[in-house]
């Protein structure tokens, strides 16, 4: 199954753009600032969350307006197609709405139809980033595999904010109220941690099947920020009340999780590997995850400027892997030359100032 009949209205620099006749490979080329990444961002909004830029809704409408829409048809060439759409209306500019076949739906429900993954240049510093950046990366991978993950994360964050508020008050918190908040934290936090651990383990197992060359193969490990077992986490929260009250915040739990990444061939932490090695490991992780995600639902993989810094051998290996994968692939580049190996099988568009022309 793949996305086709894609439409963007008043989104970023696209007043009205349509893409049809899509394929397994889909290539957008044009100068920097033409609007290529904007198309990928629009597609990323057909998944739960804030999209590949994590941008506020107010930044997305064309010309500083207060509304936009993105739609696409999910089809496999047989059976009944599914129309997915997301939009912001001028009367509610801070609320993103979702429709499936014209009926109102939740943003979380998009994850039941489509498994979206992406890789952008902004993610190149993942291994040197903060633990929070890697948690967001893991959560996005987890959400593509388990749409219920977003609900657990939201409920845990709400309980965490409430516990931190109680701990920060001058007066000692009501122990009964605190007990209830910590029960919610333990329930949703334990589920959150287990989901992250399963995702990292699944991607790590998939990566173990990857060759060390031409991409640097990483090994992954889940670094828990606290006890994962529900009862153990609940006990840890009770025992740490005095310490956390002194600190003014909760110091244990999945909000302190991390993902440890090591380059397999050298047994060197990814954070101190070369820029090229880090990029290669990030590509390998993205490909392994996309292959996993596409097993249960239609998969879409968005790769922004991914070929720009790859030598011909690695580009060819990347295209071979993508060709064999089950996900529909969207790529961007400033020129078509690096994509010559897939030119005969890709749907291609030229992007210029928010306008699309089929090549």
Kindly report, residue by residue over 1-36, the tens digit of the pLDDT.
Answer: 789 999 999 999 999 999 999 999 999 999 999 999
State the angle between helix axes of 275-293 and 131-145 in degrees (0 to 180), rounded to the nearest 10: 20
User: Phi and psi of 117, rounded to 5°?
Assistant: -135, 155
Pairing relation of β-strands 346-352 and 25-29? parallel
CB 27 within 8 A of CB 347: yes
| Contact in structure between 69 and 38 (CB atoms under 8 Å) | no
The CA distance from 349 to 359, in Å, is 5
pLDDT of 78 reads 62
pTM: 0.92
Cβ–Cβ < 8 Å for 29, 342:
no
CATH class of the domain at 131-296: mainly alpha
What is the tens place of the pLDDT at every residue in 142-199? 998 888 898 999 999 999 999 999 999 988 889 999 999 999 999 999 999 999 999 9
User: Which residues of the chain are in CATH 3.40.50.300 domains?
Assistant: 1-114+298-359
pLDDT at 79 over 80: no
- The pLDDT score that the predictor gives to residue 295 is 84
CATH 1.20.1050.90 domain span(s) along the chain: 131-296
Q: Confirm or reject CATH 3.40.50.300 for domain 1-114+298-359, answering yes or no.
A: yes
Binding site membership: which residues?
30-37
Residues marked as binding for ATP? 30-37
Mean pLDDT of 311-325: 91
Which candidate, 182, 115, 185, places its Cα nearest to that of 145? 115
pLDDT in tens, 226-235: 999 999 999 9
């Amino acid at each position: 199954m793949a996305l086709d009949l894609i439409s963007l209205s008043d989104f970023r620099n696209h007043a009205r753009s349509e893409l049809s006749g899509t394929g397994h490979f889909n290539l957008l080329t044009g100068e920097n600032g033409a609007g290529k990444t904007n198309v990928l961002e629009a597609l990323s909004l057909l998944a739960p969350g804030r999209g590949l830029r994590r941008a506020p809704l107010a930044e997305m409408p064309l010309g500083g307006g207060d509304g936009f829409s993105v739609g696409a048809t999910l089809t496999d060439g047989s059976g009944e197609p599914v129309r997915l759409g997301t939009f912001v209306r001028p009367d509610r500019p801070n609320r993103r709405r979702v429709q499936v076949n014209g009926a109102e739906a939740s943003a979380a429900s998009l994850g039941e139809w489509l498994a979206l993954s992406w890789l952008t240049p902004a993610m190149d510093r993942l291994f040197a980033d903060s633990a929070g950046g890697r948690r967001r990366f893991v959560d996005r991978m987890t959400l593509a595999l388990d749409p219920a993950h977003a609900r657990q994360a939201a409920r845990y964050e709400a309980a965490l904010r409430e516990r931190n508020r109680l701990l920060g008050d001058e007066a000692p918190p009501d122990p009964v109220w605190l007990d209830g908040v910590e029960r919610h934290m333990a329930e949703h936090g334990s589920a959150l941690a287990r989901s992250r651990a399963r995702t990292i383990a699944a991607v790590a197992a998939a990566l173990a099947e990857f060759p060390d060359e031409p991409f640097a193969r990483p090994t992954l490990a889940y670094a828990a920020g606290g006890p994962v077992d529900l009862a153990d986490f609940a006990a840890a929260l009770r025992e740490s009340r005095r310490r956390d009250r002194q600190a003014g915040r909760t110091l244990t739990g999945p909000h302190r999780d991390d993902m440890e990444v090591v380059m397999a061939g050298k047994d060197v932490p990814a954070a101190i590997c070369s820029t090229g090695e880090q990029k290669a490991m990030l590509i390998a992780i993205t490909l392994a995850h996309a292959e996993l995600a596409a097993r249960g639902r239609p998969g879409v993989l968005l790769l922004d400027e991914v070929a720009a810094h790859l030598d011909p051998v690695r580009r060819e290996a990347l295209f071979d892997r993508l060709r064999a994968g089950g996900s529909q692939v969207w790529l961007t580049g400033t020129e078509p030359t690096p994509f010559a190996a897939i030119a005969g099988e890709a749907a291609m568009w030229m992007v210029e100032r928010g306008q699309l022309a089929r090549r």
